[in-house]
Amino acid sequence: MRAKRVLVALAALPLLATACGESGSGSAGATTTTAAVTTTAAATTTAATFSDQPISQVIEAPGGVSITVDGDASDWADIPATDVVLKPITDEPPAPHDAVVKVAHDDTNAYVLFQVDDDLNWNPENTNLSGAAAVEWTIDPGAGEAMGALDVDRRTSLGLVDIWHWELECATGVRSGGAAVEGHADATGGNDPACNFDDEYASQPDVREDDNTQSGENSLLGVWTHSASVEDGAGTWTFEMSRPLNTGDEQDAVFTPGESSLMNLAYWDPDRPDGGTDGWDDDYHVVSAMDGWLQVNWGTETGGGSDHVTTTTEEPEIGSTIDAPGGVSITVDGDPADWADIAGLDMTLTPITGEPAEPREATVKVAHDDTTAYLLFQVQDDLNWNPENTKRSGAAAIEWQIGPDAPEHMGAEDDARDTSLGMVDIWHWELECATGVPSGGAVNDAGTGDPGNDAVCNFDDEYANSTTDRSDDNSATAENSLTGVWTHTSSVENGPGTWTFEMSRPMQTGDSQDAQFTAGNSSLMATAYWDPDRPDGGNEGWDDDYHVVSAYDGWIQVNWL
């Protein structure tokens, strides 16, 4: 059967009260309510989709670009532009401003060019007498239009939003943001102490903070320029920005090639049409969101790999669906007892066409807590484990779709197996360590120059574009944060029973070659198992093609509840 592709449904919201102001401060009386926000969002986001959101315009964000963040817009010449009219928030006096926005990405970074027609105002002594800008993305798909809250009362939070908030403390042409400040004392938080280009989050107008959570950081980079060279000179502001596609921070928006995000823009003009001379205040700005949200479609082209990727509009084939409940308590120890209350999906793993492996019955369960995804994969087969030769031991793999067009056969079309339609993430486990021994990069050394590897137990983080194009994930952002323990119900070689492969990995890793998991969204998964007992009579154990898979029944859709 065919199913509608699940997108990362992110919404952008009007930046209302307290969207600007002193860096790292909320409004008077505001409290830090991260825990409460998480609870509220989890209760409301699972039903939210793009169809629930008003979209004013669509922006295409091509991949494989070459952008230098320097405030010079010339390298954006071939990127499509979207004209936007920024309008004042209800009852506020600013005049509308015309703006242009462009978005693009390469393999690791997202880029935004935001240009506003307005005269030059920059005061190094007072940011409220300077222009200012912000870009906002939703994290929770149900977040309301007032910085995560309902517009009617601005107090009822519907979810969390990510804000790139820029008050211009540094001069034109100066690199701003956490990525430009080496070794500053607040490097692990959302603040930029030098130039005030901060990574923030909010759940409503009165709950806005620098992102100083445990996983918080500021990887923003920005440079601003203006076409005028004199104060009050007529011209155009250019705000050029970048940030990694995925930071691994649950309070940052995640950008995935082939999927879509929703964005909002804001600009603060210190020239007050009401005659005030004190510059802008928190409510005094113009926004794109009065007309709805800007939908950003992240293109699938990636540098270094686009020449062998074929684009298709065909929807992925969904064979079955499984729910992954949140708020669980799982210990990765190979004991399935703590999975007793979690519903599983029973399946028959079938051999690759032309290979002699016998079908195997299996079960998979998936769950998560606030930070970690857990997976239980059980296969009915006798015990084969040989510490001297992994080919004579059972083996397992879990595959996740990264590219939205990637088919379930390692990203390739089934007929040819070498025509790539996109990238997949593979958790690949050859059993070099014994039963009960923790495996994976989260507990073992990766080895020199091979961050996706597990040098001790061979539970590796890999990726593939086709069945002949599979590697350890050694990209610039790569790591191996997998943890796994395997067990078997038999204690003797060739004893009948059940394999248990229990695994975990952070929901977000910040690596563009890892699948990223978000509560309220869905992912596509496939499973595989290698049996060294060959029905063709061979005694050399399995080879690469010799395994049984779930993929012939289509993807397994995992709903992260």
93 is written with which tokens? 């006096």
Residue 183 lies in a domain: yes
> Are 258 and 112 members of one domain?
yes
Domain extent for 183: 34-298
What CATH number did the domain enclosing 455 receive?
Answer: 2.60.40
pLDDT at 57: 86
> Are 262 and 355 members of one domain?
no
d(CA 44, CA 141): 9
CB 216 within 8 A of CB 199: yes
Closest of 494, 503, 486, 382 to residue 434, by C-alpha:
486
- Residue 302 φ then ψ, to 5°: -125, 140
Number of domains in the chain: 2
Closest of 291, 405, 238, 325 to residue 58, by C-alpha:
291
Residue 537 lies in a domain: yes
CB 148 within 8 A of CB 202: yes
371 is written with which tokens? 């930070």
Longest dimension (CA), the chain: 90
Amino acid at 59: I
Return per-residue pLDDT of the chain as tens, 561 residues: 222 222 222 223 333 333 333 333 332 222 223 323 332 332 232 233 444 667 788 899 999 998 999 999 999 999 999 999 999 886 777 889 999 999 999 988 999 999 999 999 999 899 999 999 999 997 877 665 555 445 555 566 557 788 999 999 999 999 999 998 764 444 458 989 999 999 998 766 666 678 887 778 899 999 999 999 999 999 999 999 999 999 888 889 999 998 888 889 999 999 988 777 888 887 788 988 888 778 899 987 643 333 333 334 456 788 899 999 999 999 999 999 999 999 999 999 999 877 788 999 999 999 999 999 999 999 999 999 999 999 999 999 999 998 777 777 765 565 555 555 678 899 999 999 999 999 999 999 998 888 999 999 999 999 887 666 678 888 777 889 999 999 999 999 999 999 999 999 999 988 878 999 999 889 999 999 999 998 877 778 988 888 899 988 999 999 999
> Are 142 and 219 members of one domain?
yes
Please give the DSSP secondary-structure letter assigned to residue 412: B
CB 395 within 8 A of CB 377: no
In 288-403, at which residue ranges do the beta strands (DSSP E only) sit? 293-298, 318-324, 345-351, 360-368, 372-380, 395-401
**Secondary structure of residue 44 in the 3-state scheme:** helix
> Are 253 and 338 members of one domain?
no
d(CA 258, CA 62): 10
pLDDT at 16: 34
**Secondary structure of residue 530 in the 3-state scheme:** strand
Closest of 17, 7, 90, 86 to residue 49, by C-alpha:
7
Residue 352 lies in a domain: yes
Question: Which of the listed residues 282, 298, 314 is the one where a domain comes to its end?
Answer: 298
> Are 339 and 287 members of one domain?
no
> Are 231 and 344 members of one domain?
no
167 is written with which tokens? 């008050």
pLDDT at 468: 66
Computed on alpha carbons and rounded to an integer, the radius of gyration of the chain in Å comes to 25
Residue 39 lies in a domain: yes
> Are 63 and 108 members of one domain?
yes
Cα 458 from chain centre:
26
CB 36 within 8 A of CB 202: no
**Secondary structure of residue 245 in the 3-state scheme:** coil
CB 195 within 8 A of CB 223: no
What CATH number did the domain enclosing 116 receive?
Answer: 2.60.40.1190
Residue 315 lies in a domain: no
pLDDT at 126: 93
CA 233 to each of CA 164, 327, 493: distance values in angstroms, whole numbers, following the listed order: 26, 55, 82
Question: Which of the listed residues 281, 298, 315 is the one where a domain comes to its end?
Answer: 298
CB 94 within 8 A of CB 52: no
In 183-313, at which residue ranges do the beta strands (DSSP E only) sit? 197-204, 207-210, 221-226, 236-244, 260-268, 286-287, 293-298
Q: Which residues contact 156 (CB under 8 A, 6 or more apart)?
A: 144, 149, 150, 204
> Are 230 and 350 members of one domain?
no
CB 38 within 8 A of CB 201: no
d(CA 514, CA 465): 13
Strand partners, 502: 376, 485
> Are 278 and 330 members of one domain?
no
Q: What angle do CA 364, 38, 265 make, to 5 degrees?
A: 110
> Are 107 and 45 members of one domain?
yes
CA atoms within 13 Å, Cβ hemisphere of 303: 12
> Are 282 and 336 members of one domain?
no
Reported for 439-446, long-range contacts at CB under 8 A and 24+ positions apart, including other chains, are 439/482, 439/483, 439/484, 439/485, 439/486, 440/480, 440/481, 440/482, 440/483, 440/484, 440/503, 441/479, 441/480, 441/481, 441/482, 442/480, 442/481, 442/482, 442/483, 442/504, 442/505, 443/483, 446/479, 446/480
Residue 22 lies in a domain: no
Strand partners, 114: 101, 239
CB 422 within 8 A of CB 309: yes
CB 215 within 8 A of CB 251: yes
> Are 423 and 473 members of one domain?
yes
pLDDT at 210: 81
Amino acid at 195: C
68 is written with which tokens? 């230098």
Residue 396 lies in a domain: yes
Q: What is the pTM of this model?
A: 0.52
109 is written with which tokens? 């970074």
Residue 71 lies in a domain: yes
- Residue 503 φ then ψ, to 5°: -140, 160
